[in-house]
Amino acid sequence: MTEVRKLCACQKIDIEAQLSAGIRFFDFRVIYSRDRWVGVHGMETEREALFYLEKICTWLQEHPDEVVVLWLSRHGNETETGNEQYPDVSANKKQEFYRQILHTFGDFVVDHQVTPLDSTPLKDLVGSGKQVVLICSDWAEFTGRCSKALDAAQVIENHLPGSFCDPVLESLEFFSNLRLRDGKYHLVSLANSADKGAFVKQILPQGVRGMINLFGDTLPKSKLEDVPGMENNPWRLDHAARFTNYYVQTVLDTVWNRCTLPHAIYLDMVTADGGIEIGNGRQFGYVDSILVYNALQGGDQDLVAKMLGRLDLLPRSLWEDRREGRSAVWPLRSP
C-alpha cells in the first residue's frame, strides 16, 4: 500500500500552504465511499472532503481580497454525467453534499445569475464579499441546476500539451497558439502522471527484474525511457513531477512575456515559496512569472517593475546530469 501511495501524491504541502504560496484554482476530486464524501487521486483521502473545504474557507476569511476557483469532479472529466461521473451515487446524495459545500462557504459563493463573471471586475467581486467560484461536473444532478455553480461541461476547456519527444517545444507551440474563448475557463496541464511501467518494474522481485525482457511488450512502457543517458527512471509521482518540472520551468520562463496564459495551469510539487521543485533541492519561481504576466496585462508599470525584480529570486536553473534525466540541451530541437 505504501508503494501504491507513492503513485498518487503530486503535492507535499497542505492546502493552506498552497493557498499562501499563490494557488487559486483547485481541481478538487471527490468520490462517495463508505457513506462519506472524500477526496481522491488514485487513493482516497483519510479525512472527508469537507475538512479540506473548511480549511479553504478559513483561509479566505483571513484573506478577504482573494478569490478561489474550485472544480469538483471525480477524475477531472468535465463531460461525464450520472453514473459515469459518480458510480452508484444517487442525485439526492450528490445534492446533499453540494448543499453542505454551500453551507461551508456561505455568502462567499458567487451566484452567477446575480454576478456574471464575464462582466464583473475582480475588485467588484471581492468588494461584494464573493470569494468562491464553483464549477461542477455532472452539474444537473450534482447541484440540481443551481445558479451558484457553473456547469463544467459548458465552461471548462482542458488542454494537455507537450510530450516527451520534445516537451519544451511542443508546449511553447501550444501557448503561442492559445486563444481564450469568451465564457470558457481554460486549463492547461504541465503536470505529469505516475509512470506505471517503471512502477511495475520497481515492485518486481530483484531476481525477476533481470528477466524483464521475457515479458516483451506486456509491461507498460515507461514514458521516460527514451531520454538520452537517463538511467534512474522515476516511478514515484513526486520524482516524475520534479523531472517534468525541470523542463516545465523553461516553458514558464518563456511564455509569460510572449504568449497568452490560460486561467489556470496544473503543476505538481509546488513549494511554500511559490516555486516548483525541479530536483537537487532547487526550485523555479512559477508564481512570480505568472504575477509579472498579470501585471503586464493590467498595465501597472510600477507593479511590473516590482515583479520583474522578483524573477531573480528563484530563476530558471539548468544543469547536466543525464543519469537523472537533467540536461541543458535536451531535447535538441528545443531552445
Residue 318 pLDDT greater than 80, yes or no: yes
Question: Is residue 148 scored above 80 in pLDDT?
Answer: yes
As a whole-number percent, the residues of the chain with pLDDT over 90 amount to 69
Query: According to the model, what pLDDT value does residue 3 have?
Result: 58
The residue with greater pLDDT, 1 or 118, is 118
pLDDT at 335: 46
pLDDT at 222: 47
pLDDT at position 200, please?
Answer: 52
Per-residue pLDDT at 129 = 97
Rounded to a whole number of angstroms, the CA Rg of the chain reads: 21
Residue 190: closest CA among 159, 223, 169, 227: 159
Backbone angles phi, psi at 187, to 5 degrees: -115, 140
131 and 66 in contact (C-beta within 8 Å)?
A: yes
Over residues 46-66, the pLDDT tens digits come to: 999 999 999 999 999 999 999
Looking at residues 205-213, what average pLDDT do you find? 50
2: confidence class by pLDDT, cuts 50, 70, 90:
low
Looking at per-residue pLDDT, the higher value among 27 and 329 belongs to: 27
Mean pLDDT comparison of 32-36, 166-170, 196-200, 210-214, highest-scoring range: 32-36
What is residue 42's predicted lDDT score, i.e. its pLDDT?
A: 74
Higher pLDDT, 12 or 105: 105
Helix crossing, 237-255 with 167-177: angle to 10°? 50
- Output the pLDDT for position 322: 87
Q: What is the mean pLDDT of residues 304-315?
A: 92
Domains within the chain, CATH numbers bracketed = 2-153 (3.20.20.190), 160-324 (no CATH)
pLDDT tens figures, 3-18: 556 666 788 899 999 9
* Residue 205 predicted with pLDDT over 70: no
pLDDT the model gives residue 5? 63
Describe the crossing of helices 49-62 and 91-105 by its angle, rounded to 10 degrees: 20
Of 166-180, 190-204, 311-325, give the lowest mean pLDDT range.
190-204
Question: Alpha helix (H) ranges present in 41-166?
Answer: 49-62, 82-85, 91-105, 122-127, 139-143, 152-155
Q: Is 309 exposed, middle or buried (0-12, 13-18, 19+ CB in 10 A)?
A: exposed
3-state secondary structure of 274: coil
The model's pTM: 0.89
pLDDT greater than 80 at residue 37 = yes
pLDDT in tens, 238-297: 888 898 899 999 999 999 999 999 999 999 999 999 999 999 999 999 999 999 999 999
The answer to whether 275 and 291 have CB atoms below 8 angstroms apart is no
Cα–Cα distance for residue pair 109/67, rounded to 1 Å: 10
Q: What is the mean pLDDT of the chain?
A: 87
pLDDT band for 325, please (50, 70, 90 cuts). Answer: confident
- C-alpha 61: how far from its chain's center? 23
Measured distance CA(309)–CA(303) in Å, rounded: 10
Could you read off the pLDDT of 217-238 as tens digits, one per residue? 554 444 455 667 777 767 677 8
pLDDT over 70 percentage in the chain: 84
Residue 248 belongs to what H/E stretch?
Answer: helix 237-255
Q: Which residue in the block uniquely carries the three cell numbers 537537487? A: 280
188 pLDDT band (50/70/90 cuts)?
A: very high
Helix (H) or strand (E) holding 157: strand 156-159
Average pLDDT over residues 88-97: 98
As a whole number of angstroms, the distance between CA 54 and CA 60 comes to: 10
